[in-house]
Chain A
Amino acid sequence: DAKTTQPPSMDCAEGRAANLPCNHSTISGNEYVYWYRQIHSQGPQYIIHGLKNNETNEMASLIITEDRKSSTLILPHATLRDTAVYYCIAVSVRTDKLIFGTGTRLQVFP
């Protein structure tokens, strides 16, 4: 399974867009990019996933580069409640393993 690399922490002002990068340079063609987040002490929460195309839902947008070696999760208007650890995970259809890394700790400030 492809390893993902994320910055350990980021800050974002409330109301601004939060752009969280993820590097997955060894991702294979049958691996999806999934994003989950974990708000303090709660269980992880699914945000969004994609394979090749950019995706958008009510929570966020996912931008995947054409070569699929990196992606960016965008929270368009961050709120204080978006303060959490965000995990980028490469999930293989073949092995089906959901392997959490250390994630990015996003702090949204007023």
Chain B
Amino acid sequence: DAGVIQSPRHEVTEMGQEVTLRCKPISGHNSLFWYRQTMMRGLELLIYFNNNVPIDDSGMPEDRFSAKMPNASFSTLKIQPSEPRDSAVYFCASSLGQGLIDTQYFGPGTRLTVL
């Protein structure tokens, strides 16, 4: 299995631009998670989906962030408009089970830099 796939691996953009991060979970996994990691705040859960439905988005920082999961094999995290403080590494993870209690498998991350 290829594992969780994220694209792009690196993204550099200017403040105000729209940014879209992509994630392909492991085939057969029912849950998908988006995390953000910064030096200041560590690793934070932003949102998670179960069977393509958003379950908990309490970690999404503000309305500029949105996430979708149109089908079981694809999810996007969009930031519009982007700001320099959004610079971070964004990880996607998936799990087999029906919630966070199951083992999560993480992707390699997308390093976002907003100038």
Q: Which residues of A contact B (CB under 8 A)?
A: 32, 38, 41-46, 49, 87, 91-93, 96-102
Enumerate B70-90 residues with CB–CB distance to A below 8 Å.
89
User: Among the listed B91, B99, B109, which residue makes an inter-chain contact with A96, where contact means beta carbons less than 8 Å apart?
Assistant: B99
- Tell whether, in the assembled complex, residue B43 and residue A44 are in contact, meaning their CB atoms are under 8 Å apart: yes
Nearest 4 A/B pairs, CB to CB: A43-B106, A96-B100, A100-B43, A96-B99
- Tell whether, in the assembled complex, residue B91 and residue A43 are in contact, meaning their CB atoms are under 8 Å apart: yes
Q: Which residues of B contact A (CB under 8 A)?
A: 4, 33, 42-45, 56, 89, 91, 93, 99-101, 103-109
Centre residue among A42, A44, A91, A102 by max chain B CB count within 10 A: A44
- Tell whether, in the assembled complex, residue B45 and residue A98 are in contact, meaning their CB atoms are under 8 Å apart: yes
Closest to A42 in B: B108
Interface of A is mostly: loop
Knowing A49-B103, A91-B100, A98-B100, the reply to whether A43 touches B42 (Cβ < 8 A) is: no
| A-B CB contact pairs (8 Å), 18 listed | A32-B101, A42-B109, A43-B4, A43-B107, A43-B109, A44-B93, A44-B106, A46-B105, A91-B101, A96-B56, A97-B45, A97-B56, A97-B100, A98-B33, A98-B104, A100-B42, A100-B43, A102-B42
- Tell whether, in the assembled complex, residue B45 and residue A99 are in contact, meaning their CB atoms are under 8 Å apart: yes
Q: Report the bound CA distance from A87 to B35 in whole Å.
A: 15
20 more A-B residue pairs beyond the given contacts A43-B91, A87-B43, A92-B101, with a C-beta to C-beta distance below 8 A: A43-B4, A43-B93, A43-B106, A43-B108, A43-B109, A44-B43, A44-B93, A44-B104, A46-B104, A46-B105, A49-B103, A96-B56, A96-B99, A97-B45, A97-B56, A98-B33, A98-B100, A98-B104, A101-B42, A102-B42
